[in-house]
A and B are shown apart, each in its own frame.
Chain A
Amino acid sequence: MTTVIREYDLLQQINQGKGTDLIKIIKLNIPLKVRPFLEEAGGLAGFTGKFFAEGFRPRYEFQEFIRQCFIIGYKSLPLVGLTGFIMGLVLTMQLRPNLVQYGLESALPGMVGIAIVREIGPVITALIFAGKIGSSIGAELGSMKVTEQIDAMEVSGTNPFKYLVFTRVLATTLMLPILVILSDAISLYGSYIGINIRGATSFGFYWDEVFRNLTFGDVMPAFVKTYFFGFAIGLVGCHKGYHSNKGTEGVGRSANSAVVLSSILVFLIDLISVQITDLMGLN
């Protein structure tokens, strides 16, 4: 409500020619744009706080956690594997002509290996994971919220935050790194096939080349950031679903905004992590 009035005020001011007063525009405009953002960030921060405050106290929902690991991890395998394979294959085929031009064909396995392990594997897998798992968590919890299933759990002696949210966030946090490792491996295999479409490289030589070029500084930061990706995706999905608005439209919106927000967070975390590894001199 307040936003509408402010927007209107702003238009009025501009129409009356007072709008040239830059300070005024900024004063009016900043709260307008910043406030929803801050509210979103505040809500998410509160949710994260609750995760750490409540989750690690008994009673532990071990069975539900295992079930979620199965659903979130195992059932994402085909999708992650397929996209990983195509990614490795395509990347190789597209890099190849340029490298051949400079006679650097032998550098292909090393380059693709670094690209996949450091950046493309983690980020693409996380984005696909956000699309598949983030949205399904958002929609599932959203529909549980609007059909009062979350309330029903609460009156049945269950803490729904622990039962639903904690288990899912923990599962996404622990499953995504595993999926990324598998996806990296399949990507690299795809790349091997990509190389052999035109050239002839032996299987052993290919893997030797890949691993010779990978250092601790390549592998470790990439591995660590996937935990944060997984955590962000699970948390955002749960947050959006858990605070879903009434009605089926609300459920759709939760699922949608879960994907959008968690995809943005994946890139933000990626950005932060590259700064940190840079500072630590790990490249």
Chain B
Amino acid sequence: MAIYPEIKTHRLKEHLSEEVVRIRGLKKSFGSNKVLDGFDLSLYRSENLVVLGKSGSGKSVLIKCIIGLLEADEGEIHVLGHSIPELDHEELDQIRVKLGFLFQSNALYDSMTVRENLEFPLRRHWIVVTQDQVDQMVREALENVGLGHTLDMMPIELSGGMRKRIALARTLILRPEIILYDEPTTGLDPITAGEINELMVSIRERYKTSSLIISHDMKCVRETADRVVILIDGKCYAEDSYDGLSRSKDKKIRDFFE
């Protein structure tokens, strides 16, 4: 199986002209633990790109580097044309408004109600001024994920799947251009996971967002991916559509499909 340096097979290629995220030669290690070792990736406008990798392969580290939560050791990270390592704090905040992040552990604030959780990014980014606008955006975001009735509940009162959806609503409330999903379906039952997959697809249709989905759940990959990148040993090992990869004879790639 050849390693694909550029996209070769892709049917969407024509309107995938604009690179919204561009990563070249990304390196990140913790002490002697080399997690990312020259990783390359391009995310094009309004595509769903899945990064597939084993547990501990550095998927979370990768998207934390993209959003600037971790500092890369080396390499180029461009988001919407801005070089993330060169930005100062304020500039980074401005980019982060356009970047949604769905955390692996949801990261809902335990001490706040669902409403306060959703209001938090709005208020902190100084986006909306009037209470009416805030209320409307919160209600709309909750209805988008089908949980309008949970407005005044605490995160601890919700089930795992509901929490994931609230977290998704909080990510969507700023209408980001790019969404980074960190293992959106891990730990959920197959039915709930299926609902989350549907949501991710419908979000793309509705808001024309570009998504980078981190996963090792093959059902999620099949249902959401336009294109798949496989991360092995800190590098981009292969890149193709789901069908293309599923026909691969390479041992390391086959492992994911079995």
Contacts and interface: CB of A to CB of B under 8 A. Distances in A.
Interface string B85-100: 0000100010011010
A66 interface: no
- The dominant DSSP class at the A interface is helix
Contacts of B124: 153, 156-158
Contacts of A148: 103-107
Interface in A9-62: none
A143 B109 CA distance: 10
A143 B125 contact: no
Given A143-B110, A149-B109, A149-B110, A156 B103 contact: no
A158 B69 CA distance: 12
Interface in A153-169: 153-159
Contacts of B97: 157
Interface residues of A, number: 16
B120 interface: yes
A146 B104 CA distance: 11
Given A157-B93, A157-B97, A157-B121, A152 B110 contact: no
Interface in A136-191: 140, 143-144, 146-149, 151-159
Contacts of B99: 155
B50 to A, nearest CB: 21
Contacts of B111: 140
Nearest to B121: A156
A155 B69 contact: yes
Interface string B14-50: 0000000000000000000000000000000000000
A85 B104 CA distance: 48
A159 B97 CA distance: 15
A146 B106 CA distance: 11
A191 to B, nearest CB: 39
Contacts of A151: 64, 69, 103, 107
Nearest to A159: B89
B101 interface: yes
Contacts of A144: 109-110
Interface in B170-208: none
A34 B209 CA distance: 54
A147 B104 CA distance: 9
A155 B106 contact: no
Contacts of A140: 111
Interface in B109-123: 109-111, 120-121
Interface string A118-130: 0000000000000
Contact of B96 (A143, A149, A155, A159): A155
B67 interface: yes
Contacts of B121: 156-157
Interface in A38-97: none
B96 A157 contact: yes
Nearest to B70: A151
Given A148-B103, A151-B107, A156 B125 contact: yes
A180 to B, nearest CB: 27
Interface in B47-70: 64, 67, 69
A154 B107 contact: no
B250 to A, nearest CB: 32
13 contacts: A144-B110, A147-B105, A147-B107, A147-B110, A149-B108, A151-B69, A154-B69, A155-B67, A155-B96, A155-B101, A156-B121, A156-B124, A159-B89
Cβ-closest 6 pairs across A and B: A152-B107, A148-B107, A156-B121, A157-B125, A157-B124, A148-B103
Interface of A: 140, 143-144, 146-149, 151-159
Given A148-B104, A155-B67, 8 more contacts: A140-B111, A147-B105, A149-B110, A151-B64, A155-B101, A156-B121, A156-B124, A157-B124
